[in-house]
């Protein structure tokens, strides 16, 4: 059997080579020891925040940790917000158009009694006598009491619809339809009913105004003013009456558009919530 020769550290090598080999040997031992120390199992504490608080849910990675905003001012610039703003403006204009004739009693001012510049400017012949002035003032008071019911009705309805428009707009700003989409259905129904309600309301308004101008009191009053060539007391529709009717027609379209937008918003919010629920169930 052939003789085996083994090389050991103590083999006769030159002194410099032996020191170099010893140095390499010690370096290798330190490297192995370091590797063994690093290979040991250390358990590090997980310091990742888990958002756990007393009596609250633990948000996972698939859930949003951001709280929903309480209000959204950008809602005013949406289609529904602009429609609700238009509802407020239209009814405000209706109230103004009805308030102008309501606040104007139209009593005759005795020009002759004012004297001076007024007497010479208008002419003494155009002034009523004392008896005629008393009769005209009486007719003015009767005509004013006769004409104010449709204007009071218009201001009351316009003011109520203004309040309604502001309430619905505030609900949208505070995101109530987003949290509770079911409120959009009554809103759409009310808008549609109000839109259709404008039609008989306008018809009633113009019928009452026409009856007022066809009354004998108005005719007699007009004739007395015409004898003195005083204009502005004719028994016909005034500019504010026509403007109020135009704004009423606009209200029909504005409220109907708002009803359509409310239905579309209900479908969009319901679909979005269903998609979110499906994603949550998937995870």
Buried b (16+ CB within 10 A) or exposed e, 65-98: eeeeeeeeeebeeeebbbbbbbbbebbbbbbebb
Query: 124, 176 in Cβ contact below 8 A?
Result: no
Mean pLDDT (whole number) for 248-269? 94
Residue that wins the pLDDT comparison between 261 and 30: 261
The pLDDT of residue 199 is 95
The pLDDT of residue 126 is 59
Tens of pLDDT along 140-185? Answer: 899 999 999 999 999 999 999 999 999 999 999 998 988 888 999 9
pLDDT over threshold 60, residue 77: yes
186 band by pLDDT with thresholds 50, 70 and 90:
very high
d(CA 257, CA 254): 5
Tens of pLDDT along 38-73? Answer: 444 445 444 544 444 333 333 333 334 345 677 788
283 band by pLDDT with thresholds 50, 70 and 90:
low
């Amino acid at each position: 059997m052939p003789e085996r020769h083994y090389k050991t550290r103590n083999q006769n090598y030159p002194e410099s080579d032996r020191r170099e080999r010893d140095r390499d040997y010690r370096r290798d031992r330190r490297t192995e020891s370091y590797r063994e120390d690093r290979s040991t199992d250390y358990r590090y504490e997980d310091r990742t925040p888990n958002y756990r608080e007393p009596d609250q849910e633990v948000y996972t990675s698939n859930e949003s940790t951001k709280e929903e905003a309480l209000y959204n001012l950008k809602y005013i610039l949406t289609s529904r917000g602009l429609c609700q703003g238009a509802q407020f403006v239209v009814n405000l204009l209706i109230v103004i158009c009805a308030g102008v004739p309501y606040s104007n009693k139209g009593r005759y001012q005795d020009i002759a009694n004012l004297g001076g510049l007024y007497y010479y400017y208008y002419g003494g012949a155009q002034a009523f006598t004392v008896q005629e002035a008393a009769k005209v003032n009486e007719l003015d008071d009767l005509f004013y009491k006769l004409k104010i019911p449709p204007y009071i009705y218009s201001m009351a309805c316009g003011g109520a619809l203004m309040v309604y428009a502001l309430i619905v707009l505030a609900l949208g700003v505070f995101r109530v339809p987003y949290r509770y989409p079911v409120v959009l259905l009554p809103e759409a129904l009310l808008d549609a009913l109000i839109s259709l309600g404008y039609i008989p309301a306008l018809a009633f308004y113009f019928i009452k105004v026409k009856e007022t101008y066809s009354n004998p009191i108005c005719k007699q009053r007009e004739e007395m003013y015409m004898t003195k060539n005083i204009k502005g007391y004719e028994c016909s529709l005034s500019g504010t009456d026509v403007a109020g009717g135009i704004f009423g027609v606009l209200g029909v379209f504005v409220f109907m558009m708002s009803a359509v937008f409310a239905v579309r918003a209900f479908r969009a919010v319901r679909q979005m919530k269903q998609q979110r629920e499906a994603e949550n169930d998937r995870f």
